[in-house]
Amino acid sequence: MGDVAVIVPTLRRPESLARALRSLFVQTGVEDRLATIVVADNDPEGSAAEVVERLRPSAPAPLVYVHAPLPGVATARNAGLAATEAPLIAFLDDDEAASPGWLSALLSSLQTTGADVVFGPIRGRVPEDAGWAKPYLERFFGRDGPATTTLIEEPYGCGNSLMLRSVALPGPAPFDTAMDQSGGEDDVLFAGVRARGGRFGWASGAWVDEYAPPHRATLRYALTRAFAYGQSPSQAAAARRDWLGVVRWMAVGAVQTAVRGLKLLPLWIARSPRRAETMDGVARGLGKVFWTKRFEPRLYGAAMLKAAPGVDQPSA
């Protein structure tokens, strides 16, 4: 019996899910560590079941299917966790494909750093016809970090991560389902890890590729997500009832918006490709200022089903 479970939340992306699972089937150096692979299907219609059944004979460890029919990013993650008792939990999103040494690198980094959660680098992949903002979009969907495996101060998102369950994932449902539609459930989770004295690490060799589908590989989608990311520190302070912290983050956001807005004007006039990065900064600054639920984008769960029912969609 292994001690690591890999959880793959998914929502109506059969081809992408198949690619993610096949990348897990060829992991090297972890044959005695992999306890199970759990697919948490967030589609009310259970569309991922066929993919799991078709690929199950090729799986190097038990491939478990869990149906979480209420669309929501936190709900899907909690459902995946409920299907395994493994003490180590890795998350791979269904739009990601892991390199063959991915899980081995995460495990090695967890031991080397003594961290409770480790994250790995991501190469963003977008369609060739993504237009002038393609370099920015590749960076947006990617993830950079230190050149070497080390402890880090700030956490990243759940995709491409490995967690010590006893510290990072306490209780039967550690992800806050109040954030099912907006995302940010990992920010709240990691704030709790930090409050409990947990540590974060970086696994420099744990590479994955993240493939953004055409409907996500747009400047509008990326900037909407950037705005939501900007909301996170203000919302986290509000959740702690740290109202001075909220004011401080709003002030930071106002300054960021003003400074980057002034920088954006000449770049916009010159039609410079660099304007996309600056627009991203403006969006994150605005998110810190307009952090309340009234302005919170709906990027996940039911909003995705309503926008394009029955088609290929972003992961939970």
Domain ranges of the chain: 4-211, 219-307
Count other C-beta atoms under 10 Å from residue 158's C-beta: 24
Q: Give residue 180's pLDDT.
A: 83
Share of the chain above pLDDT 70, in %: 94
Q: Are 118 and 110 in contact (CB under 8 A)?
A: yes
pLDDT, mean of residues 34-53: 96
pLDDT of 254 above 90: yes
pLDDT, mean of residues 113-136: 96
Torsion sign (Cα): 219, 187, 159, 46: negative
pLDDT of 272 above 90: yes
Give the pair of three-digit tokens for residue 80: 């995946």
pLDDT of 316 above 50: no
Q: What is the pTM of this model?
A: 0.89
Q: Indicate the DSSP class of residue 159.
A: S
Q: CA-to-CA distance for 228 and 171, rounded, in angstroms?
A: 27
Q: Give residue 1's pLDDT.
A: 75
Share of the chain above pLDDT 90, in %: 81
Q: Which CATH superfamily is domain 4-211 in?
A: Spore Coat Polysaccharide Biosynthesis Protein SpsA; Chain A (3.90.550.10)
Q: Residue 242: CB partners within 8 Å, gap ≥ 6?
A: none
pLDDT, mean of residues 300-306: 58
pLDDT, mean of residues 46-56: 97
Q: Give burial (CB, 10 Å; 0-12/13-18/19+) of 221.
A: middle
Q: Give residue 298's pLDDT.
A: 74
| Of residues 149, 165, 151, 166, the one with CA closest to residue 105 | 149
Q: Indicate the DSSP class of residue 10.
A: E
pLDDT band at 305, cuts 50/70/90?
A: low
pLDDT, mean of residues 171-193: 88
Across the beta sheet with 117-119, the strand order is 63-67, 34-41, 4-10, 88-91, 161-164, 117-119, 200-202, 150-152
Q: Are 237 and 119 in contact (CB under 8 A)?
A: no
Give the pair of three-digit tokens for residue 70: 């209420």
User: What rounded mean pLDDT belongs to the chain?
Assistant: 92
Q: How many CA atoms lie within 13 A of 29 on its CB side?
A: 11
pLDDT, mean of residues 240-267: 96
Q: Give residue 73's pLDDT.
A: 87
Run of H or E including 303: helix 302-307
Comparing 168-172, 235-239, 252-256, which segment has the lowest mean pLDDT?
A: 235-239
Phi/psi at 96 (5° precision): -115, 150
pLDDT of 313 above 70: no
185 or 142, greater pLDDT: 142
Q: Residue 265: CB partners within 8 Å, gap ≥ 6?
A: none
pLDDT, mean of residues 99-108: 98
- pLDDT digits 0-9 by tens, 149-160: 999 999 999 999
Across the beta sheet with 96-98, the strand order is 96-98, 208-211, 122-125
